[in-house]
Amino acid sequence: MDFELSDEQRMYRDVLRDFVDREIRPVAQEWEDSGRYPTEIVEKMRVLGLFGLTVPEEYGGLGADMVSFALTFEEIAKGWMGIAGILGSHSLSCWLLARHGTEEQKARYLPDLASGKRRTGIALTEPDAGTDLQGISTTAVRDGDFYVLNGRKTWITNARYADPLPVLCKTDISAVPAHKGMSVILVEAGTPGFTVERDLPKLGYKGTESCEVLFENVRVPATQLLGGVEGRGMQQVLSGLETGRINVAARALGIAQAAYDEALRYAGERRAFGQMIGEFQAIQLKIAEMAAQVQAARLLVYWAASRSDGGHRVDMEAGMAKAFASEAAVFCALNSMQVHGGYGYSKEFIVERLYRDAPLMMIGEGTNDIQRVVIARALLAGKASIG
């Protein structure tokens, strides 16, 4: 067993760390507090080629392995989790296009998406349908050479910049089970009837917008049906969400690592009762448990990513990584806040932002309770095993 990164992966991680240290950390607190969109950071990510993470090299992308993919989100989330969100939704959508798009769709969109000339996201969640995607009500009715799209989506990252925006909808509302009548349609920005509405207020996950979008009689050419065949949308989306859960798990790992780093640093600087607080056993116990949680999360995330690189389905592995790492992030953020004492509650210290960002990782890409159901079903059905 080899638990080490390759030389190439280490070099890539070092480039990412340098980028985060120079371009993200110095401005994260101020820009998040002011609600400023990180335009300059997005441009630097474009120059680095990060928008091409999941785009094959033949279309100008990086075609990154999944361990490098996870490293990307871990390192960026350590600096500012909201920036990782901008890249995450884009990368998931590119993955769907690269694996399920028609040749014409891939040739049309992937080169520009890889360069960052175009950006994208994905529209799944609705006001009355989140984890239960079969319960969506957005429809697309065939009308000659077009689909007429109607519905509303919510919590859509990159909504104001997505071009195209893949939209999960029902092309056959009578299908039983419902997933057999679901498809993904690529909606281009500026299409009449497609409106990006309000930005939703959030506890954390600042930096990127999360919007409601409305589709009112949006006429989309039938050639924009992902893969060119109706009824494949649910399978396409679920295959992508395996990648998405590795993404979220890696972001959670970044938050956990950052919280631990801040606690360790503060414990070595803060004095109380004539000594460094790190010399008190109560603080040492917190530091030790945080370190164990971070390292265990890292091993699960990299394991899931490496299994994916090996060509395996990783429903169970990605679910384990996402559930454990997200809960480690919440644990480490809270304990780091406690190590900081009153300063941990101040917006002047990074840990306050980490504390607000961490809970989303337990909810996004399927709640942790759902992840545990997925894990258990895979084990009980003999589709996966441990040990």
pLDDT at 131: 84
One domain, residues 141 and 254? no
Closest CA to 164 of 133, 125, 122: 122
Strand 146-157 relative to strand 139-143: parallel, antiparallel, unpaired?
A: antiparallel
Using the predicted structure, report yes or no on whether residue 217 has a pLDDT greater than 80: yes
Range of the domain at 296: 235-380
* Structural domain contains residue 386: no
One domain, residues 176 and 82? no
The C-alpha atoms of residue 322 and residue 359 are separated, in whole angstroms, by 12
Strand partners, 225: 185
Q: To 5 degrees, how large is the angle CA 187–CA 199–CA 87?
A: 60
pLDDT at 287: 98
Percent of the chain with pLDDT over 90: 94
Radius of gyration of the chain (CA): 21
pLDDT at 271: 96
Using the predicted structure, report yes or no on whether residue 74 has a pLDDT greater than 80: yes
One domain, residues 240 and 375? yes
How crowded is residue 104: how many other Cβ atoms within 10 Å of its Cβ?
10
Asked if 121 contacts 106 with a C-beta cutoff of 8 angstroms, the reply is no
Using the predicted structure, report yes or no on whether residue 387 has a pLDDT greater than 90: no
DSSP-assigned states of every residue in 206-254: -SS-EEEEEEEEEEEEGGGBGGG-TT-HHHHHHHHHHHHHHHHHHHHHH
Using the predicted structure, report yes or no on whether residue 1 has a pLDDT greater than 80: no
Q: What is the pTM of this model?
A: 0.95
Burial 327-361 (b: 16+ CB within 10 A, else e): bbbbbbbbbbbebbeeebeeeebbbbbbbbbbbbb
> pLDDT digits over 81-101, tens only?
999 999 999 999 999 999 999
One domain, residues 165 and 192? yes
* Structural domain contains residue 93: yes
One domain, residues 42 and 177? no
The C-alpha atoms of residue 126 and residue 273 are separated, in whole angstroms, by 54
- Distance, first Cα to last Cα, the chain: 14
* Structural domain contains residue 385: no
Write the CB contacts of 79 (distance below 8 Å, at least 6 apart in sequence).
20, 21, 24, 25, 28, 258
Question: What CATH number did the domain enclosing 69 receive?
Answer: 1.10.540.10
The C-alpha atoms of residue 211 and residue 218 are separated, in whole angstroms, by 18
For residue 385, name the pLDDT band (cuts at 50, 70, 90).
Answer: confident
One domain, residues 260 and 212? no
Closest CA to 5 of 69, 76, 83: 69
Percent of the chain with pLDDT over 70: 100
* Structural domain contains residue 1: no
Number of domains the chain contains: 3
Whether 289 is catalytic: no
> pLDDT digits over 109-121, tens only?
999 999 999 999 9
Match 């969640």 to its residue by tokens: 125
> pLDDT digits over 321-357, tens only?
999 999 999 999 999 999 999 999 999 999 999 999 9
Largest CA distance in the chain: 80
